[in-house]
Chain A
Amino acid sequence: MIPMRTLLNSLRQLAASLRMLLIFTVVLGVAYPLLITLIAQVPGLKSRADGSLIKADGKIVGSKLIGQSFTDDKGNPRPQYFQSRPSAAGSGYDPTASSASNLGPESIQDVLPDPAVKDDTGTHSLLTQVCARSLEIGKRYSVDGSRPFCTPDGVGAVLAVFYAGPGYHGSITRVVSVNQACPAKPFLTRYRGVPVQCGKSGADYSRGKIVPIRGAAPAHPAVPADAVTASGSGLDPEISPAFATLQEALVAKTRRITIAQVEALVQRYRKGRDLGFLGEARVNVLQVNLALDRAYPYRA
């Protein structure tokens, strides 16, 4: 039996708690945000509080702060526009599903597609995603798309090395390039004298030692880092100046203008580090593309 007095005391505590909670809910949860929302109606603040929306020809075309895809409905880049970074938000730049890839630094082994299942693409490791993007972007902008730890066909250069003895001891019995699905030609013909095989879908390589191979690619690849990695939000509105520079020639060619004309626009929207030390230099993609459309309208 709980003594009557203790019970009454507890009930009194809970009643006081509920009343205090309701008071704070009104003050901190309703009055405070509404006050800020009200203050945010002041001219100058209002456009920012509403999301820094940008208009073109009287229509809203996006927010200065939220990145967009500049691709056609099949997902192919439109060459007249500067392209944004890769995005893990939904199917790309979806503000209702902001997200990073969350793949780790040693996410290097793919799940190869099953040829028996129609449209199976398998699962790409972060390494393969980086390699594939680098290769594709290198091709599109006519630079060397090779990267360390990447195969020439744009997947992660990763071997499963099988040993005769336990604990990865003894002689090597078999070597498989795990991310290169057969009939692909392995990026190495031999590893320590043993011929390298291509990877088979569904095969279990977990008994092999997983060895990423650095290869001969330059440590500072021609395709910039932000071009091959997804941002934290998946909505990054900006790219590095290096990635912008890489894209200038193709944009100029597609719009039939000079590179200097494109570069002048990029320079106008290029921002250095704030106060010289805050953050990184960057270029807002939507703003540059909008300025391009205004100054040099694209006709297919």
Chain B
Amino acid sequence: MSSTWAGIVFLATLVLALVLVHKPLGDYLARVLTATRHLRAEKVVYKLGGVDPDADQTWGRYLRSVLAFSAMGVLFLYGFLRLQHKVGHPYPMPQMSRSQSFDTAASFVTNTNWQSYSGENTLGYLVQMAGLAVQNFLSAAVGIAVAIALVRGFARHRTDRLGNFWVDLTRICLRILLPISVVFAIVFVGAGMIENLHHYSTIHTLAGGSQTLPGGPVASQEVIKELGTNGGGFFNANSAHPFENPTIWTNWLEIFLLLCISFSLPRTFGTIVGDRRQGRAIVAVMAVLAILSVGLQLGAQSAHHGTVPSAVGTSSEGTETRFGVPDSAVFATGTTLTSTGAVDSFHDSYTSLGGAVLLLNMMLGEVAPGGTGSGMYGILILAVITVFVAGLMVGRTPEYLGKKLGGREVKFASLYLLTTPALVLTGTAVAMALPGERAGMLNSGSHGLSEVLYSFTSAANNNGSAFAGISVNTVWYNTVLGIVMLLGRFLPIVFVLGLAGSLARQKPVPASEGTLPTHRLLFVGMLTGVTLIVVALTYFPALALGPLAEGLH
């Protein structure tokens, strides 16, 4: 079997696994998030935390809880990172600078996991497990909670209440993320992923040299890094590192984990709004976009256009022998379509067109299927825009799931859509205008522009993967990218919850002859089209100057 065919079978097995899992997992998520009873362990958490689990929150209150909790997360992690040289078990690590600590704290709390440091020579085990990995869980849970609040906005009528953030957060962590993590962490250890608290050990190699081998609680962090679409590696080489991804089947599992929740949430959405066909239409759009993207990526990487790939004979620079080129391309597609940003091969060395597809994936706003929760609310916003556009065409007041989309709703949706492009394009433009920041690029010319554009796209979309050639551990990049990540995460959340609040207040409009059916093929096509057109119009000029100019010369 040729490499490419093996890659296609690899992809097909992943698709099959996701098809099998998304129903039970989506139904389970819906059950957990609509249950009225609290578990005993959860009651203890609420008691210790001093929160009232039975208080139904308005959208404003829900939002304030999200923001307060996340702000506390940033502060706590910043302090932890600044002090880690004092508690950096077990190896003395240097103190992290203010700007890098801010960047890292913002990055992990926003589910971005952009890293301007290399784990193995910067961070101790304690801050990795009790600082960063905790945010891997919590930021994923915040994303899912906000998505569920929006779904409740569609499902509920004539109320100003959207649920309770603390209850959603706790249940997602304790009933969903933690149990899955425990199971797969043990599986991962069985595959050879390390899980220990040993000192780094120096050994004498066969050829008479020496080598220092790191330790660390890697497997436990690795699971949630993928499951929560976080992507921050324990080591600099992320999932290319043999201790983070030792075998080819752990590679398969990691891709599966980073896709499974996001592909299941449409089922949860359909179940909660009481019409599973709606969920099916959404998941169909995600699947169409994802399969288009992975097809393009496999094509670009297998065709290996470009000078260096032609000289080599394949796109093997930056890929591991055990994974090979096609399976690495599947991982790269999965990680940029979700907000993960983990890498098992290095995107900077991808073919120009392959790199362009990765950028496009993130520019789609990560909705196919997107990050845990953020993908779901992202695509619902696009669905709102699609229904609105369709309404304009036929001259009727648009409605989605029985809710009228008036001025207020469309304003929230539009503001959501404008946030990321504004951050990406302004950020890139400013960085290119400053000579010092431009000098951080490793590659020159259009590939250099791609590096900067990729950084800002990755930060604003909370992805976290990098065209890693660029040196971003400078005060300017740390600070600016940190701010971009925070705005790129929390501004959209404000708009999503605002939209949820105004939807929940409405009374349902009965479907009439003029209502656009949102579960049919026509709507799937329209939503796919709107997603692609919005992206293409926004980013095409920047893409043309970067990867396209490089790939088509």
Contact = CB atoms under 8 A, between A and B. Distances in A.
A36 B219 contact: yes
A124 B313 CA distance: 20
A56 interface: yes
Interface stretch (A96-104, A137-145, A181-189, A253-261): A96-104
B209 A66 contact: no
Interface string A146-163: 011110000010000000
Interface-centre pick from B13, B166, B220, B323 (highest chain A CB count, 10 A) = B220
Contacts of B49: 16, 19-20, 23
A212 interface: yes
A49 B195 contact: yes
Contacts of B314: 225
B297 interface: no
A36 B206 contact: no
Interface stretch (B17-25, B99-107, B345-353, B486-494): B345-353
A179 interface: no
A40 interface: yes
A279 B322 CA distance: 6
A278 B242 contact: no
B432 interface: no
B37 to A, nearest CB: 20
A173 interface: no
B206 A293 contact: yes
A63 B10 CA distance: 28
B194 interface: yes
Nearest to A214: B310
Contacts of A14: 68, 71-72
Interface stretch (A112-120, A191-199, A228-236): A228-236
Contact of B308 (A36, A126, A275): A126
A278 B78 CA distance: 41
B226 interface: no
Nearest to B312: A225
A233 B189 contact: no
A28 B131 CA distance: 10
Interface of B: 1, 3, 6, 9-10, 13, 45, 48-51, 64-65, 68-69, 71-73, 76, 118, 120-121, 129-131, 133-134, 137-138, 166, 169-170, 173-174, 178, 181-182, 185-186, 189-198, 200-201, 203-209, 211-215, 217, 219-221, 235-237, 240-243, 246-249, 251-252, 306-324, 327-328, 343-346, 348-352, 355, 442-445, 447, 450, 467-469, 550
B68 A106 contact: no
> Interface centre among A69, A95, A97, A275, by most B CB within 10 Å?
A95
A4 B183 CA distance: 48
A21 B139 CA distance: 12
A37 B243 contact: no
Contacts of A226: 316, 321
A33 B133 contact: yes
Given A16-B49, A17-B72, A106-B308, A95 B207 contact: no
A268 interface: no
Contact of B192 (A48, A228, A232, A239): A48
A103 to B, nearest CB: 6
Contacts of A100: 237, 240, 317-318, 345-346, 348-349, 468
A122 interface: no
Contacts of A97: 118, 120-121, 236
B133 A28 contact: yes
Contact of B206 (A16, A37, A56, A236): A56
A51 B212 CA distance: 12
Contact of A36 (B185, B214, B251, B467): B185
